[in-house]
Amino acid sequence: MDEAHDLECGNVKVKQNSRNLTDVAPRVTAGSRFPEGFLWGVSTAAHQVEGGNDNNQWAAWEQAGRIKSGDRSGKACDWWNNAERDFDLAQEMGINALRLSVEWSRIEPREGRYDALAVRRYRQMLEALHQRGIQPMVCLHHFTHPLWFEQRGAFLGGGAADLFGRFVRHVVSALGDLCQHWVTFNEPNVYATLGYVLGEFPPGRRGQILTAVALVNALARAHTQAYRAIHELQPQAQVGWAHNFVVFQPARPGARRDRWVTGLVNELFNESFLRLIELGKLVFPLSLASGDLTEVKGACDFVGLNVYSRFHVAFDARIASQMFARVFVPPHVPQGDHGVEQPYGEAYPAAIRVAVERVARIGKPIYVLENGVPDADDRIRPWLIVNVVQELDRLIQAGQDIRGYFHWTLTDNFEWSEGWKLRFGLVALDPKTQQRTVRNSGRLYGAIARGNCISPEMVNQYFPAGIELTPD
Ligand code: FCB
């Protein structure tokens, strides 16, 4: 499989008259074998899969009716009782890594009180993964934390970094023999933006841009404290965080105001946490809102990237609360299923390249820790996977140090403010019956993982005929 093959992907229906679609027209080129030990993983998060989580701020948010679809996470994928059923599926597919998170509200249900049974269950899960030849990667904060911590002001409250650090020490002491790779925080930028600017995540504030910046700073401090604590306990550990990276593009590239507002959104969303890690400070004038953050500089062993979409950005004088930025998805671009109120985003495989080239400046290994598309009918997920894997291949050939790719997600799960409306799984789930059905994209991804490469044969076998890239 060392020589490159070209395959015309003739069975993909592409609107020939659409400029945007011909830009992404899938000419499938199979590349070389991936490096030995490359991780082909899937990503999950505790609240989205475990079920029965009722002691964190997301459970309260659900109870308050704040999920757009009105759904509750309920049993989710029932992992607290039977994660092993999905681990079996992952093993059958040939996946060799799985990212999961531990639920702080289970491990420390009341301040300073730890639940040994909860820790034991996580040990069982990690052991079950190892038994199946699957390497775990553990995230310590994936959007949720205990109600008692939320009531103290969460990460903006006094002593937050110490409280989080104490929890991290507890977890790493208990699970460190079963895990080498730790993700401190999932997507500080998403938590800050959706929680304090757009109001879609708890605590549901809108337009509080300075508070969002303060939260990013606080999370960077807590991350750094956790990074140090993990290394004290486990010197060989690999510690990073998961950074959500969105490609923002000026809606009218010739319009200066669109370009200006796109730069602003990019700076706040994509750049702020990255700059703290890279330089230990934000750019002016955001630097005015942060104190001395030099301790944050260089505090990671790898960068985790969560990359999904591209959005267009237009200046709109009516929305000062969102920095005058109208962020939208134009029609006729490849996209998955719509959320309750708006499109999820443009499915844009080249986003991986933009993101990798940016974070490579930090000079650390890179793991793609999330990438996927909401797609209940598996219309475009195979297309996305093929194009993204080829993008990764080209980047690695060009010398980028990418160590793994984790697809979001293994089994359809509870999708935060969209509830059960969006289906991201390689495996379809009926949450009522808990019945699972492996999607075609799951078979395709499994073949790639098992082969540690992508070949024209795999693409032929699993790429469905008549993929429709546009919604209708
Ligand atoms: C990411 C989240 C993950 C999941 C995917 C679709 O932003 O980290 O939990 O919701 O989006």
* pLDDT at residue 286, as a whole number: 81
d(CA 170, CA 176): 10
Residue 3: pLDDT band (50, 70, 90) is very low
Would 78 be classed as within a structural domain? yes
Q: For residue 391, indicate whether it is catalytic.
A: no
* pLDDT at residue 30, as a whole number: 56
User: 290, 354 in Cβ contact below 8 A?
Assistant: no
**Which residue's CA is the nearest one to ligand 1's atom 5?**
408
Residue 371, pLDDT > 80, answer: yes
d(CA 95, CA 118): 26
Quote the tokens at residue 369. Answer: 């820790």
d(CA 188, CA 459): 36
Q: Is 186 in the pocket of ligand 1 (CB under 6 A)?
A: yes
What CATH number did the domain enclosing 45 receive?
A: 3.20.20.80
Domain that holds residue 412: 34-445
Three-class SS of residue 217?
helix
Q: Which of 17-21, 92-96, 197-201, 212-216 has the lowest mean pLDDT?
A: 17-21
What is the amino acid identity at position 288?
Answer: L
Taking the centre of ligand 1 as the mean of its atom positions, its distance from the CA of residue 4, in whole angstroms, is: 34
Would 456 be classed as within a structural domain? no
Would 369 be classed as within a structural domain? yes
**Tally of domains in the chain:** 1
Three-class SS of residue 407?
strand
Q: Is 43 in the pocket of ligand 1 (CB under 6 A)?
A: no
- Other CB atoms within a 10 A radius of the CB of residue 461 amount to 12
- Other CB atoms within a 10 A radius of the CB of residue 2 amount to 7
* pLDDT at residue 283, as a whole number: 85
pTM for the whole structure: 0.93
* pLDDT at residue 462, as a whole number: 78
Residue 7, pLDDT > 80, answer: no
Could you tell me what percent of the chain has a pLDDT over 70? Answer: 92
Average predicted confidence (pLDDT) for the chain: 91
Would 100 be classed as within a structural domain? yes
Quote the tokens at residue 194. Answer: 């959706």
Taking the centre of ligand 1 as the mean of its atom positions, its distance from the CA of residue 45, in whole angstroms, is: 8
Q: In sequence order, which residues have a C-beta less than 8 Å from that of residue 47 and are 6 or more positions away?
A: 53, 56, 58, 73, 76, 103, 142, 143, 144, 414
Would 3 be classed as within a structural domain? no
d(CA 352, CA 438): 25
Which position among 103, 187, 278, 346 bears the catalytic label? 187
Would 12 be classed as within a structural domain? no
Residue 1, pLDDT > 90, answer: no
Q: Is 44 in the pocket of ligand 1 (CB under 6 A)?
A: no
Cα angle value 360/370/290 (rounded, 5°): 60
* pLDDT at residue 463, as a whole number: 73
Q: Is 408 in the pocket of ligand 1 (CB under 6 A)?
A: yes
d(CA 213, CA 219): 10
For ligand 1, pick from 77, 370, 420 the residue to mutate: most ligand atoms within 8 Å of CB. Answer: 370
Residue 14: pLDDT band (50, 70, 90) is very low
Q: Which of 22-31, 98-107, 223-232, 378-387 has the lowest mean pLDDT?
A: 22-31
* pLDDT at residue 164, as a whole number: 98
Q: Which of 13-22, 288-297, 438-447 has the lowest mean pLDDT?
A: 13-22
- Other CB atoms within a 10 A radius of the CB of residue 359 amount to 22
* pLDDT at residue 288, as a whole number: 76
Q: Is 105 in the pocket of ligand 1 (CB under 6 A)?
A: no
Would 410 be classed as within a structural domain? yes
Ligand 1 nearest-atom number relative to CA 186: 8
Of residues 43 and 26, the one with the higher pLDDT is 43
* pLDDT at residue 453, as a whole number: 93
Of residues 427 and 282, the one with the higher pLDDT is 427
User: 289, 272 in Cβ contact below 8 A?
Assistant: no
**Digit-coded pLDDT (tens) for 304-315:** 999 999 999 999
* pLDDT at residue 64, as a whole number: 97
Residue 469, pLDDT > 60, answer: no
Would 57 be classed as within a structural domain? yes
* pLDDT at residue 29, as a whole number: 58
